[in-house]
């Protein structure tokens, strides 16, 4: 059987649950399992910290809010979304992080270049969605609110996330992470009745608008031997 961290995947069909309830199911490990080079770039106090650097508990919250598991592709999207939501990441910083995470990070924290399309999609989604500075907006009092309410409060549009995940599946069709991405509900194709409005299925996603952590460590949980938290090989 696969280790728990590889199987953990919260999804988006959990609006009635609270952050605390879902986080309780996340396979956790101590922050000191995070390599120094990861902390250098993703630690809010790191010398070379990137936009969106966040502490571990709040980074874990973003995994839940975005409905993403702990595989490398999931991590790429979560980091990209967090950075993009700052509305301050330029092309140079985006390219620099992709080089660092693909070549300088140690295994299993390294994210192969072939799945960094998920990072780019995360950047785009964070930039274009209503949320801004998500890494600063998270608060402990959100832990006991229903997830649906929390997503709306923060400006995280689950329908648009599902649209983005459909594009991610097209870009990376053969990965374990893509196969379990949340899907958009089917659209209502019933012919309209004269005099009655026809509605899409509840939660159906509209068209995408564009073309396209650690007490002080951005990475999620991991066990130094059998799990890596929000990071894993593809």
d(CA 226, CA 222): 8
pLDDT, tens digit, 9 for 90 and up, residues 105-123: 998 889 999 999 999 999 9
Assess if residue 42 is contained within a domain.
yes
Assess if residue 200 is contained within a domain.
no
Output DSSP code: residue 85: T
Assess if residue 189 is contained within a domain.
no
Owning domain of residue 146: 4-19+29-179
Assess if residue 175 is contained within a domain.
yes
Assess if residue 172 is contained within a domain.
yes
- Are 43 and 53 in contact, with CB atoms under 8 Å apart? yes
Assess if residue 218 is contained within a domain.
no
Assess if residue 24 is contained within a domain.
no
Q: pTM of the entire structure?
A: 0.79
Q: How many percent of the chain have pLDDT more than 90? A: 62
pLDDT at 207 over 50: no
Neighbours of 57 (CB within 10 A): 17
pLDDT, tens digit, 9 for 90 and up, residues 69-99: 999 999 999 999 999 999 999 999 999 999 9
d(CA 189, CA 199): 10
- The count of C-alpha atoms lying within 13 angstroms of the C-alpha of 97, restricted to the half-sphere facing its C-beta, is 26
Tally of structural domains, the chain: 1
């Amino acid at each position: 059987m696969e280790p728990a961290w590889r199987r953990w995947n919260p999804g988006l069909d959990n609006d009635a649950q609270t952050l605390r309830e879902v986080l309780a199911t996340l396979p956790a490990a101590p922050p000191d399992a995070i390599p120094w080079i990861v902390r250098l770039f993703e630690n809010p106090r790191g010398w070379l910290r990137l936009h969106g650097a966040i502490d571990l508990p709040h980074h874990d919250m973003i995994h839940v809010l975005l409905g993403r598991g702990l595989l490398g592709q999931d991590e790429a999207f979560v980091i990209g979304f967090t950075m993009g939501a700052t509305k301050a990441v330029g092309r140079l910083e985006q390219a620099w992080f992709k080089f660092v995470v693909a070549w300088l990070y140690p295994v299993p924290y390294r994210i192969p270049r072939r799945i960094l399309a998920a990072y780019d999609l995360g950047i785009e989604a964070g930039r274009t969605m209503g949320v801004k500075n998500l890494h600063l907006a998270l608060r402990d009092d959100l832990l006991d609110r229903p997830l649906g309410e929390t997503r709306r409060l923060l400006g995280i549009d689950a329908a648009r996330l599902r649209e983005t995940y459909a594009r991610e599946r097209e870009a990376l069709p053969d990965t374990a992470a893509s196969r379990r991405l949340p899907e958009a509900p089917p659209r209502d194709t019933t012919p309209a009745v004269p005099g009655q409005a026809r509605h899409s299925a509840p939660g159906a996603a509209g068209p995408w608008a564009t073309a396209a952590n650690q007490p002080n460590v951005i990475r999620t949980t991991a066990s130094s031997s059998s799990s890596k938290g929000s990071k894993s090989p593809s």
